[in-house]
Amino acid sequence: MVAPSGRRGNCPLPPAGETAVTSRQGEIEETGDEGPGMTTGSLPSDREGWAAFFSGYSRIVLVANSEQVDIVSLRARYAEDTLFVFFNKVFKVLSEPFEGNALIVARSSPSGANIVYRREVDAVLRLLRGPGFRGIANLRAGPREVFSRREEFGDAEVGFLDLCEIFDDFYPRTHVPTSGFALAFWLSEACPSSRVVLAGFSSRRSDRWKLFHDHDWTFEQILQRLLIRTGALDSDGRSQDAEGVERIAARFPQFSPAEIAVVSAQVLSERLEGTNMAIDRLMSLTRLHGRIDGFFRRIKPKTRKQKASEIEAKEARGDRPTGG
């Protein structure tokens, strides 16, 4: 289901002066500007248009930036007409140009699309210039995020997808959805005729990639697995943790699912408490290192994103600039 377009909830209408950035659909309707290199086949700028676009594919594979992803093996397992959707820093999972049907999702921030303000557009597009490349979807899923302009993405076809209000009524307000979860959840409701497959959606930290705390990874994993259980989403490769619980239920039918869930929760709670105690000990041992790290972080030049976040925090507190 697509949320009513009139409800804004936690995603307020952009303030004066930001309309041209955060509401690209209105700008396109008023000016007819398709941007450089655009044709009449350019990508959509509203949810209805994107629902029609994705519904044109019977199978859609969402590829997370994860060490678990093997692109060669992944593509070999799916038909040629499959649409592969990548996210942001695609060079994390692609080492050579991708030749299949592909779309890149460029997540927005308060400073615009991340790959734009980090000057990564060229690096991303070099890996997606194959004959099946469909373009860029600039995604907005948080109330303070703003779209970048078409021309900032070079000559690639660009569309704009605003999913912010979709999550108003259930996603934790202290966090914003990850790009992969936001798109997967919306597709499960907007395109029920398409099979949506998640590849590498483990939410696991690694030596190469970290997890950002502005997303609620636990919440997303819970809902994601529920949607997989009900068939609304598919998973390419199953979680070993989930398999372990399911194997217990299959091997010991005398235990009800509720009993297994209660005992599992108790065990996890005890292990989590033990982990917290170990973390507290590590925190005390590394306190000096933390102070040194904090000192160097304070003298390090701030990024555009950090500056924008500070301005937003001041505005939220009602601070006013000083001086004349």
Q: Is the pLDDT of residue 72 over 60?
A: yes
Q: What is the pLDDT of residues 178-200, one digit of tens each?
A: 999 999 999 999 999 999 999 98
Q: Could you tell me which residue, 226 or 283, shows the higher pLDDT?
A: 226
Q: What share of the chain is helix, strand, coil (3-state, %, to 5)?
A: 45, 15, 45
Q: Is the pLDDT of residue 302 over 50?
A: yes
Range among 28-37, 99-108, 241-250, 269-278 rated most confident? 99-108
Grade residue 147 by pLDDT with cuts at 50, 70 and 90.
very high
| pLDDT at residue number 2 | 38
The least confident of 108-112, 175-179, 308-312 is 308-312
What distance separates the 2 farthest-apart alpha carbons in the chain? 76
Grade residue 85 by pLDDT with cuts at 50, 70 and 90.
very high
E strand or H helix at 258 = helix 257-285
Q: What is the pLDDT of residues 4-13, one digit of tens each?
A: 333 334 454 3
In this prediction, residues 51-64 reach a mean pLDDT of 96
In this prediction, residues 84-106 reach a mean pLDDT of 94
Range among 157-161, 250-254, 265-269, 286-290 rated most confident? 157-161
DSSP 129-167: -STTEEEEEEEE-STT-BPPPGGGGTTS-EEEEE-GGGG
Average pLDDT, the chain: 80
| b/e code 257-269 from CB counts within 10 Å (16+ = b) | eeeeeeeeeeeee
Distance in angstroms (rounded) separating the CA atoms of residues 59 and 81: 8
pTM beyond 0.75: the answer is no
Residue type, 52: A
Q: Is the pLDDT of residue 236 over 70?
A: yes
In this prediction, residues 65-70 reach a mean pLDDT of 84
Q: How many other CB atoms are there within 10 angstroms of residue 53's CB atom?
A: 19
CB contact at 8 A, 167 and 182 = yes
Grade residue 54 by pLDDT with cuts at 50, 70 and 90.
very high
| pLDDT at residue number 4 | 35
Site of tokens 């408490």: 273
The proportion of the chain whose per-residue pLDDT surpasses 90, expressed as a percent, equals: 46
